[in-house]
Chain A
Amino acid sequence: MPLSAIKTVAKPQNGVGAFILQCKRLEFHYCDWAGSSRGMNAFIKTSLPAFAKRNPQIEMAISPRPRKHPVIRAHYINGAQRAICVRNLEAESVREKAEMLRDASGEKNKRVNKPVTSINESVRGIWSPFHGDEIKI
């Protein structure tokens, strides 16, 4: 054979064609008795149904966690978990924390230094000393 081919797998680009929300499961843990769960309980009673309706991609689970602080735990598609303790927070702040977990990608937080990161090669190409106008000294 004059020519053979290299077997690879095409790389995913989430959001280029379809967008898959990376958060797949949110667990809300509350305590009926303790005062630190007051905001969490209010959130579950009032705004959680609307929150679940707005985010049908996420599986919601509510379970009691007696004598412990309230916790929101998120499971991501890459297998990571992220938990936020929402003790003594108001219902509105609990919703903000839940939205923060929903929007996260599950990756570890990284410092982004470069303005653009791309898997496509540069349109302008790499500078070459052999091409273009010669520099006359």
Chain B
Amino acid sequence: MKRVRISRCATQLLAGRTPRRPSCPCAAGLQRDITPHDYRIQARSLSTVAIEKDSELDIGTPDPTSSQPAAAPAPPAIPHRKRLAPEQLPSPHPFAASHSTKLSALRARLSLHQRFPLQTLARTLVHPSADPDPAFNNASLSILGANLLGYYTTEYLLCNYPRLPIPVIFAAQHAYTGPKALATVASEWGIEAAAEPGGEVDPGLLQFRRLRSGSRVPAALRRQVPWKWNVTTTHRIVATDEFGSDNTPPDPQSLSAVPVPMEEAAQSFVRALIGALHLHLGSPLVKRFYRDHFLSRQLDLSTLFDFRTPTRDLSKLCAREGFEAPVARLISETGRASRHPVFVVGVYSGKDKLGEGAGASLEEARFRAAAAALKAWYLYRPIEVTLPSSMEGELDTRKWKPNMVDCGEVIV
């Protein structure tokens, strides 16, 4: 598979050449066929209000000494130009991004490359609830970032733990890149939220319309009733989000101009940052960023299991795999007649010990032993793993080693 060039695939997601984009009189003849660098496109064409005519746009910048072409005072050739004060914009002007100390500090704190423009970083901080214009908020970038996060997490889990049951995969996805995890990541990066979005606010702050205390969460986020009456596992895998919830996640653009909770805005920022990094720096750097910031977090997969009937599952599993039926045997015990007895029970299939557990009663110890045996089966980890994303753009297919695909969890 050949990699698409970044400059080409990036331009459609950044602020594009919309029909009502103001035409720059100097650059129009020069830049017809070439694709200029991304931040220039954004910087020249960004405006955050609905404009009736092209000629009406000229936005007052916080720093009039800026050397950018659109920041220069209007040339006398075009009359009737109206300067918009920054207070009239729904989100900060991109020119303000290059002067924001918060933004450059954030870029350095995340060890992002200097090639990653501050204007794009500022755009990832604008939630659709602050600025409904899709050319200036992070809705499109957050869709891309959500897909990338889901892809990298799923492939890591499926390749490294091929026997994980599907509810545990969902829970692990939720633990690594779920809404709560992303909001926590954003707060650990030192993201602060603006009290109220606006053009005059520092672009280094997270911009979203805050939910007033006591008011209800917007309807798009609140859809708790499943829209399909029989929510099956297949439905959860195919039709909803990657965390196995009952309904589909809200479309980011549907939240425009609606007050949202902070968690929603923070997670959209993290997703949009991943998407923007993918567009500007390419997938190898994004994968490294993902590994450093998300996969490095500590998650013990064995604590995610919640068995109802481990003994029954284990005997079904042994029957399916052709092992002998499991038998629980007492290994050792102490204080049977005392207040604190301890029993150590092992589960054996023939002569092989599958698992062992200690408990205060024989039943409890047997259950723990069966659960330990099931966890040992489900948490199997192959020694050598080739992630599919590591082969992107590779022409030499000899490096590829097929991963193990298991037949799935026990169905009782």
Residues of A within 8 A of B (CB): 1-14, 16-18, 20-21, 24-25, 56-61, 77, 119-120, 128-130
Contact partners of B291 in chain A: CB under 8 A: 17
Say if the beta carbon of B336 comes within 8 Å of chain A.
Answer: no
Selected A-B contacts with CB under 8 Å, 23 pairs: A1-B308, A2-B313, A3-B307, A4-B306, A5-B165, A6-B303, A9-B184, A10-B176, A10-B181, A10-B294, A12-B188, A12-B298, A13-B298, A17-B293, A17-B295, A20-B190, A56-B105, A57-B108, A77-B188, A77-B189, A128-B344, A130-B331, A130-B342
Contact partners of A9 in chain B: CB under 8 A: 175, 178, 180-181, 184
Q: Given A10-B181, A24-B105, answer yes or no on A129-B334 (Cβ-Cβ < 8 Å).
A: yes
Of all chain A residues, the one with the shortest Cβ separation from B103 is: A59
Of all chain A residues, the one with the shortest Cβ separation from B105 is: A59
Residues of B within 8 A of A (CB): 101-102, 104-105, 108-111, 165, 167-168, 170-172, 174-176, 178, 180-181, 184-185, 187-190, 289, 291-299, 303-309, 312-313, 331-332, 334, 342, 344, 358, 409-412
Contact partners of B111 in chain A: CB under 8 A: 18
Of all chain A residues, the one with the shortest Cβ separation from B297 is: A10
Contact partners of A56 in chain B: CB under 8 A: 104-105, 108
Q: A6 near B304 (CB under 8 angstroms)?
A: yes
Q: A4 near B297 (CB under 8 angstroms)?
A: no
Which of B184, B188, B189 counts the most chain A CB atoms within 10 A?
A: B188
Q: A8 near B297 (CB under 8 angstroms)?
A: no
CA distance A43 to B159 in the complex (A): 55
Contact partners of A130 in chain B: CB under 8 A: 331-332, 334, 342, 344, 358
Q: Given A24-B190, A56-B108, A59-B105, answer yes or no on A11-B308 (Cβ-Cβ < 8 Å).
A: no
In-complex Cβ contact of A8 among B171, B296, B334 (8 A): B171
Smallest distance from the beta carbon of A3 to chain B beta carbons, Å?
5
